Amino acid sequence: MRENKVGKRVAFIVLAIVCIVWIFPLIWAIFTSFKSDAEIQKVGFSLIPKEWTFANFLGLLQGNDSSPVFRWFLNSMIISTAHILLVMVIVSFAAYGYTRLTFKGRDLIFALLLGTMMFPGVVNLIPNFKIVDTLGWTNTFLAVIVLGAAGVYNIFLVRQFILGIPKELDESAVIDGANEFQIFYHIILPLIKPVLTVVALFSFTG
C-alpha cells in the first residue's frame, strides 16, 4: 500500500514537471508582452517585467502598415473557412463515389490514390508551384484554398465511414423513387456529419 502511494507521488511529480515544461513558454510569452522593446532586447533572462507596459497591446489594437495583425487574422479566417467548405464538398462526393457508385477500375484507382500517401509532401512542392504559377494564382487566396482540398487521407477516412452505412438504406430510397443525388443528400450526408467534423478539424489545423 505504501509503495503504491510512493508510486503515485513520483508519477504526480513527473507529470507536474512535464506540465511546467509545456506551459512555461506560454507564461513567458504572456509576461514578455508586458515588457518594453528595450527590455525584450536586453541580454539575459528575466521572467517578470521590471516596468509593466501596455504599449504592445495598444499597438496591436491600433494596427499599422508593418504589422496589420487584424488583416492577417481576417485573411486566415477567409482562407480557412473557404478551404474547409471546399474540402468537405470534394471529399464527401469522392468518398461516396468510391463506395456507392460502380464503375470500371474503381478499386484500382482508389488503390493508386492511397499509394500517393507514401510519398512525402515535399515531393509536391515544385509541381504545385508550377500549377499555381500557370493558373496565375501566385500571391492569391486561391493558391492556399484549392491546393490540398482533395486530400487522399480525408477521402479514405470518409470512405471507410460510409462503408459502415448499410446499403439497405440506399435500396429503400431507390424503391421510393430517389435518385443518386437525393440518396447522397438525404441519407448519406446526414449520417457522415461526425466524420466530416473530424475532416474539418484536420483541415483547419493544417
- Digit-coded pLDDT (tens) for 87-126: 999 999 999 999 998 889 998 999 998 898 888 888 888 9
CA distance 31 to 46: 10
Of 13-22, 40-49, 116-125, 192-201, least confident by mean pLDDT is: 40-49
How far CA 22 is from CA of 15, 47, 76, 148, in Å, comes to 10, 16, 26, 31
pLDDT at 26: 92
Confidence of residue 27 (pLDDT cuts 50, 70, 90): very high
Identify the DSSP state of 136: T
Q: Has domain 69-205 been given CATH number 1.10.3720.10? A: yes
Evaluate whether 21 touches 13 at the Cβ level (below 8 Å): no
> In sequence order, what are the residues at sequence separation of 6 or more whose Cβ sits closer than 8 angstroms to the Cβ of residue 116?
152
CA 37: distance to chain centroid? 34
**Beta carbons within 8 Å of 173's beta carbon, 6+ residues apart:** 182, 183, 186, 187
Across 139-153, b (16+ Cβ under 10 Å) vs e yields eeeebbbbebbebbe
Sort 25 into a burial class: Cβ within 10 Å, 0-12 / 13-18 / 19+: exposed
% of the chain with per-residue pLDDT over 90: 51
152 vs 173: CA distance, rounded Å: 29
Would you state the pLDDT for residue 2? 61
Instruction: Give the pLDDT mean for 24-34.
Output: 90
Q: Where in the chain is the domain with CATH 1.10.3720.10?
A: 69-205
**3-state DSSP call for residue 166?**
coil
Mean pLDDT of the chain: 88
Give CA separation, 78 vs 29, 65, 145, 170, in Å: 27, 20, 9, 36
